[in-house]
């Protein structure tokens, strides 16, 4: 046990089936860290399981009793789950995935790391800990996992809270990107307005990158497309300011060459060498009964203003892109290149099982609360609002005060508001044995 900044942290490891439908295929390890108040006897407190955003990122590593974790441990034993394949849960690096065999075998392996498998891991862990019911908190992709949990194992839940992660129940990836491209365009324009001079500097950087000889510290070539991808930061509360500071140091005084500090900053926004799931499984989050087929790339053709090369040829400033994964990632990010064929297999997979059960959700009896960020660049608010109306008893808080990272930037306030709404949801639902 570790005592850190007012928290007591205990480690748990579980051997879970790699494939819950085929337990004979072996096991993987899933790691979770339990957080409680230091000196507090938390044995009688209810459990709260945190499901991280992503896909493909480990749970937070708390440094003390602050933010939403500090608020949560006042009421709960908090279980910070490293979702399968992330953090200390049998990490799936590119090298580990390649050991699974040919691209078809790699794709079959990767398909076992979606929300449905994560929820089954949670059920395995709940049983191992002897917990009858617990409460969930899901951020972004973690919210997708929560809605799957509500669909397929609601009797295991005492409550569910979601931040920026109510998915469209029937939405295909195409439906999502047709909404997020315009949202991303608006974020670009807002950034240009907030930081005078930044637009011209961005254009200068793109013109230098277009010469084709700019290398990142890793040795990868920096292309216009890869540079555009840093725009994912625009979906976060401080993202525009961070990009302003990144681009302001792009050139050293009197030099036309891009600085190493700038290049390292660009490269630092992506961690595909250690966390490849985000690139490979991102669109698979939306897969239900049909292929995603590199949706972001196809739908991008409907929004020609995101054509970086075309913008330069017309003396326009290229728009930065958002939370979108493109097939060229597999060529331009060296860590992903060996997985190119496996990623293509997944993009063409057309037999994904359903993630959500509308009938179960419409009869929901689990107290549920969600915050929907009105200006969310990643999870379109209109799809979230539609889903909120289809989950019986869900208490929705719609706000434009925060961006997608509201739980990180204002976690204490958001957690307190959601718990209050969770109680309101419980009061509106018919009683059930608790």
Cα–Cα distance list, 297 to 178, 319, 412 (Å): 11, 15, 37
Give residues with Cβ within 8 angstroms of 367, minimum separation 6: 158, 159, 160, 393, 422, 423, 425, 426, 429
- Closest C-alpha to 407, from 380, 370, 377: 370
Report the C-alpha gap between 254 and 278 in whole angstroms.
38
Report the C-alpha gap between 327 and 187 in whole angstroms.
24
With tokens 């637009």, the residue in question is: 199
What angle separates helix 198-209 from helix 239-248, to the nearest 10 degrees? Answer: 60
Q: Cα Rg for the chain, rounded, in angstroms?
A: 22
What is the distance of C-alpha 202 from the center of its chain?
27
Decide: helix, strand or coil at residue 11.
strand
Report the C-alpha gap between 276 and 336 in whole angstroms.
7
Q: Please say if 404 is a catalytic residue.
A: yes
E strand spans, 220-367: none
Q: Please say if 354 is a catalytic residue.
A: no
Report the C-alpha gap between 265 and 222 in whole angstroms.
12
Q: Which of 140, 151, 295, 384 is catalytic?
A: 140
Residue 365 near residue 393, CB atoms below 8 Å: yes
Q: Which of 41, 213, 351, 359 is catalytic?
A: 351
Report the C-alpha gap between 50 and 74 in whole angstroms.
15
Residue 341: phi and psi, rounded to 5, are -70, -35
Half-sphere exposure of 18 (CA within 13 A, CB side): 13
Decide: helix, strand or coil at residue 369.
strand
Q: Which of 116, 220, 404, 405 is catalytic?
A: 404
Cα–Cα distance list, 62 to 80, 238, 251 (Å): 9, 21, 36
With tokens 């929705």, the residue in question is: 396
Residue 55 near residue 141, CB atoms below 8 Å: yes
Known catalytic residues are 140, 351, 404
């Amino acid at each position: 046990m570790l005592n850190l900044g007012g928290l007591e942290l205990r480690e748990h490891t579980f051997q879970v089936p790699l494939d819950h439908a085929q337990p004979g295929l072996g096991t993987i390890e899933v790691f979770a860290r339990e957080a409680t108040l230091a000196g507090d006897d938390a044995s009688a407190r209810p459990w709260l399981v945190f499901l991280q955003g992503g896909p493909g990122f480990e749970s937070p590593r708390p440094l003390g009793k602050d933010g939403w974790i500090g608020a949560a441990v006042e009421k709960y034993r908090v279980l910070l789950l490293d979702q399968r394949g992330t953090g200390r849960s049998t990490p799936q690096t590119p090298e580990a995935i390649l050991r699974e065999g040919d691209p078809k075998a790699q794709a079959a392996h990767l398909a076992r790391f979606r929300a449905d498998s994560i929820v089954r891991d949670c059920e395995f862990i709940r049983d191992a800990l002897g917990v009858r019911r617990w409460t969930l908190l899901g951020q972004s992709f973690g919210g997708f996992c929560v809605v799957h949990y509500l669909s397929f194992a609601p009797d295991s839940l005492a409550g569910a809270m979601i931040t920026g992660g109510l998915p469209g129940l029937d939405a295909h990836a195409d439906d999502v990107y047709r909404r997020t491209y315009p949202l991303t365009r608006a974020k670009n324009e807002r950034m240009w307005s907030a930081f005078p001079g930044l637009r011209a500097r961005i254009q200068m950087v793109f013109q230098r990158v277009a010469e084709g000889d700019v290398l990142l510290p890793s040795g990868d070539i920096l292309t216009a497309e890869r540079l555009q991808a840093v725009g994912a930061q625009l979906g976060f509360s401080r993202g525009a300011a961070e990009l302003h500071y990144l681009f302001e140091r792009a050139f050293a005084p009197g030099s036309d060459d891009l600085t190493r500090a700038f290049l390292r900053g660009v490269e630092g926004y992506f961690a595909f060498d250690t966390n490849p799931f985000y690139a490979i499984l991102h669109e698979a989050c939306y897969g239900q009964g049909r292929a995603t087929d590199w949706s972001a790339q196809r739908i991008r053709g409907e929004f020609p203003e995101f054509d970086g090369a075309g913008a330069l040829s017309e003396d326009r400033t290229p728009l930065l892109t958002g939370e979108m994964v493109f097939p060229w990632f597999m060529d331009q990010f060296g860590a992903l290149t060996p997985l190119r064929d496996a990623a293509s297999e997944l993009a063409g997979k057309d037999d994904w099982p359903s993630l959500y059960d509308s009938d179960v959700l419409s009869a929901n009896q689990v107290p549920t609360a969600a915050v929907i960020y009105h200006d969310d660049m990643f999870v379109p608010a209109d799809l979230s609002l539609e889903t909120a109306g289809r989950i019986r008893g869900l208490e929705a808080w719609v706000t434009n005060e925060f961006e997608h990272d509201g739980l990180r930037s204002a976690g204490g306030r958001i957690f307190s508001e959601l718990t209050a709404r969770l109680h309101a949801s419980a009061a509106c639902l018919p009683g059930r044995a608790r």
